[in-house]
Amino acid sequence: MEADRDDAARLRQSLDDADGAATRPEGTASGGAQCVIGKVASGSTASAFWTMTAQVVAGAEVDGGSGTLADAGYTFKAYNLGATAPSIGTPYLCTFTPYRWTFRNG
């Protein structure tokens, strides 16, 4: 079990060393975020890169409280893994894979 954790730590370090913070959106957590909410800003076709505006969740953290998405102040490119083109302004959970951000529409 300890060896599994060591292998995972080495893999994470290897990815961080190969990738660095330059390909991750600014302002992400130490070591880089694995997921970020992105709102579609521009793009035109399915199965292509789209410009996303990073979002933060605002609102009081209370049971039953409503949250809202607010612009985090930076953009990034994410590849649409889906078969259809998304609508501008639609929010998606974007996942960081080695070297790229991805999201799925359709």
pLDDT, tens digit, 9 for 90 and up, residues 20-35: 544 555 544 445 668 9
pTM as predicted: 0.67
Sign of CA dihedral 33, 98, 54, 86: negative
pLDDT tens digits, residue range 55-75?
999 998 899 989 999 999 999
For the chain, what is the domain count?
1
Residue 103's nearest CA partner among 57, 45, 47 is 47
CB 95, CB 35: distance < 8 Å: yes
- Coil, strand or helix: which one is 104? coil
- What is the domain range of residue 99? 2-103
